[in-house]
Amino acid sequence: MNPRKIFDYAREAEAILILNGGENNLDKNFFYLAGKEGGLYEGSFILAKPDSVTIFTSVLEEESARNTGNKVEIFHSRDEYENLLKNALKDVNVVGLNYSSLNLEIYKNLLKIIPDKEFVDVSVSISEARRLKTPEELNYLREAAKIGSEAFDPAIELLREGMTEKEVAANIVHEMMKGGASGPSFDTIVAFGENSSMPHYSPGNRKLKKGDIVLIDYGALYEGYCSDITRTISFGKANEKTKDMYSVVYKAQNESMKAIKANVNGKDIDKIARDIIDASPYKGRFIHSLGHGVGMDVHDHPALAPNYDFPLKANMVVTDEPGVYLTGYGGIRIEDDVIVKEDGFEKISKGATATIREV
């Protein structure tokens, strides 16, 4: 990643320091700046200046770090870590930190190592930079969406009565990895029947029955970039209510997507979908936002939501995912990923049908 792009936003900082903790406390911005997938980089840090990026890591990650093409410095002990950090910042007074991910333990240690610096929060600046994708990032996102889209049919061909939601989730992840994904971009949601009324349901041991709604929300990770796709189908014949719910959601997605282009406000796009659903028998049952940005994080900036006043810009990538959810009955969601263009949009995930698919 060319660090200049970030400093166009983070003008307040002389350098940006991203510090990783353990496996559950890694900062995506580390990988955004490093610019290449591969390596875990626990306890490592990265320093960006307007014309350079340097990775500071242990010998464990040395080869991965050198493969990124950035400058690399290796520490072998805690003392060396601290000395490298002090030395790297000796000519810097104002250090940008990502306040939204830095944990208190790391921050308190940092204050001991470099007590004399001024810190500024660059979390908003970095997310502003990250929401505008480069051509290379757009290609990774297109590929993540393609892998996700193409994994669906082979996974669905394996559906059998009596299968569990967990088995279906395993099959779709398997198909995505066969197609080139490095893994799923988030924990796959597979919900059968009445379970599909919970938008963030976790797959369980519920067995598939004829006539069930099957909602699958899944995505591929490719070169560190995510797709986020939802398909809802019927296992066997769908009843009239399910068909009607699907048609309303499809219309809400189709009409709202047509409005996506640069300078249109996300909340106005949300309203198009919400008005269609609220004019149907499912009024009030669209219980989440219409969409969100997608990038290295599956929930990236910006949001397409009723109270989020934000005009879209070209080269942002967002989801369009209306849904209706009826407790005790089930839910329907259709989710696709689109690139915002100056005069329209490019839909990068494929395969949603206009009427509910019966398999």
Residue ranges in contact with ligand GLY by CB under 6 A: 186, 217, 228, 321, 335
Using CB under 5 A as the binding rule, the residues of this chain from 284 to 323 that contact Mn ion are 319
- Minimum Å gap between C-beta 244 and ligand GLY is 23
Strands of the chain (E only): list them: 15-19, 45-49, 52-57, 71-74, 94-97, 118-121, 183-184, 189-192, 212-218, 220-222, 225-226, 229-235, 291-293, 300-304, 317-320, 323-326, 330-333, 336-341, 344-347, 357-358
Closest CB 157 distance from ligand GLY, rounded Å: 23
Say if residues 108 and 131 touch (Cβ distance below 8 Å). no
Q: Which is nearer to ligand GLY, 186 or 308 (CB)?
A: 186
**From ligand GLY, Mn ion, none, interface partner of 27 (C-beta below 5 to 8 A by class):** none
186 binds, among Mn ion, ligand GLY, none (CB under 5 to 8 A by kind): ligand GLY
- Using CB under 5 A as the binding rule, the residues of this chain from 331 to 350 that contact Mn ion are 335
By beta-carbon proximity to Mn ion, the closer residue of 143 and 335 is 335
Residue number, 165 or 335, with CB nearest to ligand GLY? 335
| Residue 37 backbone phi and psi in degrees, to 5 | -70, 150
Characterize 98-116 residue by residue with b for buried, 16 or more Cβ atoms within 10 angstroms of its Cβ, and e for exposed: beebbeeebeeebeeebee
**Choice from 137, 175, 212, 217 touching Mn ion (CB under 5 A):** 217
Asked if 228 touches Mn ion (CB under 5 A), the answer is yes
Question: In DSSP terms, which residues pair with 324 in a beta bridge?
Answer: 332
How far apart, in whole angstroms, are the C-alpha atoms of residue 59 and residue 65? 9
Taking the CA atoms of the chain, what radius of gyration do you get in angstroms? Answer: 22
State the nearest-atom distance from the C-beta of 142 to ligand GLY, in Å.
Answer: 19
Q: CA-CA distance, 341 to 92, in Å (whole number)?
A: 39
Question: Would you say 14 or 335 has its CB closer to ligand GLY?
Answer: 335
With CB under 5 A as the rule, give the number of residues binding Mn ion: 4
Name the residue nearer to ligand GLY (CB basis): 77 or 307: 307
Footprint on this chain of Mn ion (rule: CB under 5 A): 217, 228, 319, 335
